[in-house]
């Protein structure tokens, strides 16, 4: 199983290291045609507007087709790219997951923080009992969750959704690659593995 990490900007190398620690073969994706050779894709943090510029029209269209067919996991700016609706300001997205998201809702770079959240689904009960460390850097906030979207993890007294899934697409507003907790990346690899098995039946 080969997992791609979109390597245009952001800390893509931290995702590569984490995925390799968990046993995945990782490809750093820098050209659209490399998407043909991977079974799943991680879109890292960075700046979502810059991602769009670096992708270009051809790369954007290729990525749009990919996320409809194969497992994709977006973190921070990656979550913004995957969202159906983006505010602050409005921005074109891939529309791969039915959420409304607000950019920089947790503040500027100086307001970055490490918080403790919790899993609410998508993992076995034993793992879900353990708190989840979350690194927020200029993080977006999920303000609307569609009916078909499953909330995986929440944070804060209002249980704000911070990790979600719809079909083969996962999104997180924080940076799991900067924490020692591997559960979210493992959940994504499980998703890729299950999809791979289903496709080859």
Q: Where in the sequence numbering do the catalytic residues fall?
A: 76, 175, 177
Under a CB-based contact definition with an 8 Å cutoff, are residues 174 and 136 in contact? yes
Strands 132-136, 150-155: pairing kind: unpaired
Q: What does the alpha-carbon distance between residue 105 and residue 87 come to, in Å, rounded to a whole number?
A: 10
Q: What does the alpha-carbon distance between residue 111 and residue 92 come to, in Å, rounded to a whole number?
A: 26
Structure tokens at 52: 């769009």
Structure tokens at 153: 């993890």
Helices marked H in the chain: 12-21, 48-69, 77-82, 125-129, 183-199
SS3 43: strand
Of the candidates 22, 99, 32, the one whose C-alpha atom is nearest the C-alpha of residue 63 is: 32
Tell me the CB-side half-sphere exposure of residue 174, using CA atoms within 13 A. 26
Q: What does the alpha-carbon distance between residue 93 and residue 111 come to, in Å, rounded to a whole number?
A: 25
């Amino acid at each position: 199983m080969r997992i791609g990490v979109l390597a245009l900007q952001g800390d893509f190398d931290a995702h590569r290291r984490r995925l390799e620690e968990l046993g995945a073969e990782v490809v750093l994706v820098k050209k659209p045609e490399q998407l043909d050779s991977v079974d799943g894709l991680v879109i890292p943090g960075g700046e979502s507007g810059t991602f769009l510029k670096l992708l270009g029209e051809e790369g954007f269209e290729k990525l749009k087709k990919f996320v409809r067919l194969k497992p994709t996991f977006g973190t921070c700016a990656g979550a913004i790219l995957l969202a159906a609706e983006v505010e602050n300001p409005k921005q074109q997205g891939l529309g791969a997951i039915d959420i409304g998201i607000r950019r920089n809702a947790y503040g500027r770079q100086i307001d970055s923080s490490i918080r403790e959240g919790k899993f609410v689904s998508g993992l076995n009960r034993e793992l879900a009992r353990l708190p989840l460390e979350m690194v927020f850097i200029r993080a977006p906030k999920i303000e609307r969750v569609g009916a078909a979207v499953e909330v995986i993890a929440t944070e804060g007294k209002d249980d704000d959704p911070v990790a979600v899934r719809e079909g083969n697409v996962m999104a997180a507003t924080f940076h799991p690659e900067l924490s020692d907790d591997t559960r979210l990346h493992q959940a994504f690899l499980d998703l890729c593995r299950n999809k791979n098995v289903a496709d080859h039946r």
